[in-house]
Structure 1
Amino acid sequence: MASAGLSEVLECSICLNVYTDPVTLSCGHNFCRRCISEALDTQEKSGGYSCPGCRAKFRNRPALQRNTTLHSIVENFLPMKPDLQYTGVSSSLCKEHLRVHNKAPEHVLCAPTTSIKSRKCSIHNRILEFYCTEDSTCVCVYCLIGKHTGHKKETLDTASEKKKKKLSTHLQKLMTRVGETEKSIQSLLNSRREAQEKADGETERVAALFRNLRRRLDDLETKIMSDITNQAGKKFQFYDKNVQQLEMKKEELSRKMRHIEELCNMTDPLTVLQEPDTGDLCNTDEGDNEARDRHDGGDRDVAGISHTLYTGLADIMYWVTGGIYIPPADIILDVNTASNYLHISADRKTASQKDHPNNSEKHSEQPKNHPGTLEKSRTWGGFQYRPQVLSTQFFKTGEHYWEVDVGGSQDWKVGLCYPSMNRKGWSPSVIGYNNKSWCLERKENQYSLLHNGSDIQLPGNDLILKIRIHVDYEAGKISFYNLSDPIRHLHTFTATFIEPLHAAFYVGEGCVKIAGKLRMKINRLVHTCNAKG
């Protein structure tokens, strides 16, 4: 309350601010020296002077006496630093008042505001002129002698400049962060565009891959269907020809039968006896020979079609797959290459001698051939004299390995060979004894590695019960491993392969068995969609 009363006493009625250099008129009213001087200046033209407070008249311009007491009160109750001196009135002015304030160099003009209330102290209703740094708030002159007495103060301009510097620093940091954010956004947009381009490219690549895959499968299907049709046509021609011949034979036999019946029904013995010898009439040897010559080539046809299908699918997998392992598959024995002296199990994974106790067939001096006579075996590519058999699979690219259980035999050879290896005769048709085959051999308890008739004997007498064969076609390597504990590398042949390779097996006694699955790894990189058509 004392602060409010003091503010009224120290208030100039003209500028409504705390007195600056207060002076007194003869009527007793006090004003700022500058305020009353300017007021008297405006009255000079009217020919008379009056007090702005009580309207007392003065004939002459009144003298301005300094109010020492009021001046002392202002200085004692409102101490300020030189740089914080009151600099004038802040207000929105009309043109006439603006002219007056422009003459005062200590007055600071600011932009007009639509709400003058926002520029006044909410407590004292005075213009905000200072900034309290301790409470971070704008204050009026009465606040400085009240609640904020003794606090550090700054002019609004000074405080504003300091805050602007801080804001400028924050602005710079924000601009830097905005720039970094824009770079991050651009980087993400670039990554997204690259991902989209990659996805589009991958989509097109896969689509082209499947188009080519479907075309290759369609071509393979067309070829196999054509082969089936051609083979069926040849069969039908064979059957039709034989049926026609047999029909003619049947007619000839029927004619002979009728003639014989006529002879049998004759009562004249002279006529019967004068008839030529009837032995020729009953001769059927020719028909028997023809019947033996007739055969059904269905098994061979199916084998050929299966081979074409397998080869075609393998070529497609070779084209599609690269650098990954193909799911394991069975490696099986080709009965059409088996010798007459071998028995092939129903699952086509075990080869054994005919007299081996595991065989269901009994041994005989002339064992039954697979699947027909010895002559047919020669026609179909079977081994003539040696107890050998090849796999149906062949390898013309990539890496492959499989395992063979040889514990059931003491006389065996296991390895690989070209399909063109001689299968007739004696020594040239044994795997390892020609330049088209490579093998590991056990004979008379001695292990050797054979190629082109040259052998490399393995040192030591370690028993080998199970072996692994590994072929790397492109690298030209065939490796043998003993799968005993620990696994031991036995030998690696090196060569430049010029034909596909088949797994080859020789069984001198007992049996050998393919163990596990065939594992394959194709080294060749996947061709692009447009490669190879």
Structure 2
Amino acid sequence: MWRNMTEASISLGEDQFSCPICQDLLKDPVTIPCGHSYCMNCITDCWNKDDQKGVYSCPQCRQTFTPRPALNKNVMLDEMVEKLKKTRSALSYAGPGDEECDVCTGRKRKAVKSCLMCLESYCQTHFECHEESHTRKRHKVTDATGRIQEMICSKHDRLLEVFCRSDQKCICLICVMDEHKTHDTVSAEAERTEKQKQVGETVIIIQKKIQERQTELQKLSEFVQTHKSSAQAAVEDSERIFTELIHCIEKSQSEVIQMIRDREKAEVSQAEGLLKQLEQEIDDLRRDAELKQLLHTENHIHFLERFQSLSVPPAARDNINVTSLLSYDDVDESVSMLREKLEDLCKEATENIYVIPHMEIVTTSELRTRDEFLQYSCQLTLDPNTAHKYLCLTEGNRVATFIGADQQYPVHPDRFHGFSQVLCRESVCGRCYWEVEWSGMAGVGISVSYKSISRKGGGFECVFGFNNQSWRLSCSDSRCAFRHNQKTIKLPIFYSSSRIGVYVDHRAGILSFYRVSDTMTLIHRIQTTFTQPLYPGFGINFGSTLKLSSAEIL
């Protein structure tokens, strides 16, 4: 009976606090002199239409007012409306996916609380009644989430309030005394507390990883932006330089063409002058017709008078010999030679474009932390039979220093003669990792090499990184570069750590160099095919020292 009365009072309240004009709950309610109440905006708009008449009336009872009454907000009524709004919100009907009130009859309202002892869900009104009926001993309640059936044991229809650690599931008290009586059980609340700690630790780890990724993202974004800016600047410079080069070539083309035309003009002009002379000479020599006519004249006087002018032959001129046509083969040859040189220069310049400082981005997730690399660490020692005579080996052949004085090593075919280099005794195969520390302004070369690398002589065949037998990372205070087979890749200089980690995966053909500090920072990485066992090797420059580090100590 109290349920129906509550619902009826709610319905009555909504009608009593509705605006007769807009039919909705009063908003900024005002009460006019006749006692009826309206929304402030509704009655204002209604009376604005009566301004010309000067007489204002109540839309419900039609009582008139003159002059226009002043409108003031009814504070008490406004508070009652706000309370009604909250009650109406709490007593809204359940929709799809909402937990329904188990007490409501007819159309059910949305549940707001669930009782874990009564195993029922309640709307706001019925929850208040539930609380009033259990004032002496409060029941345990929770927010209605639509999952109350999941909190009930399907076998015993009792509340799940115990956690079985043996089976990793929630059970009821009867289950504890039945099939789980020998299992490790705790209260669900205690297990929740324990699991919540683990979740908290997981959240901390995830947050840390998010921060790490955000840092990496920022660095990568900065690198991308810097790379884009550098690339754009390089494009603009290249366009400018190539434009200048094209103009230079066009200028040379014009000069060559003008030279050919000038030469053509001079030679043709000379030839045309000779042509005119020859034509004149031919004209002069064509007097034989007059001579023949003179021979047949019978007038002796006329013959004698013409004889003087016709009997003297024209003056003899040098013969003109045209040995060959004028040739421009020398010009063609010079221009062709220029083209070949330009092509060679362009090809060389294009190849050099790829030898620029760059950053390598590694996306592999196999090895990231130093601890992961250390599982592949190997112990190395320097082989004194390979050490150059100016290298002094100490600390059990784990430190090499360039001394500059002959160490009087015995003659050995494995010794490097022309360059201050040394190999390790041990070869590396499979996955191997080692660390070195270096010092000295001139720097060192950290390498891997086939054992077949040449030892005698002063050619590139003996130098780490300058042949197809070895790979080398060169480090100094002024530069950092990777070398293989006489090809060089310039790398960013790093100053914060003098410890370098080297990782080799022989089967995968991977060689990586890392800067070792609190984190592992990739310096350079290549992937190739190794056809022989690899030996760590080192080149030590003047005044520099290299030490094979104990990988576990940082």
Instruction: Using structure 2 for the length normalisation, give the TM-score.
Output: 0.35
Q: Which has the higher contact order (CA 8 A, sep 6+)?
A: 1
From the CA coordinates, give the structure whose radius of gyration is larger.
1
Instruction: Using structure 1 for the length normalisation, give the TM-score.
Output: 0.36
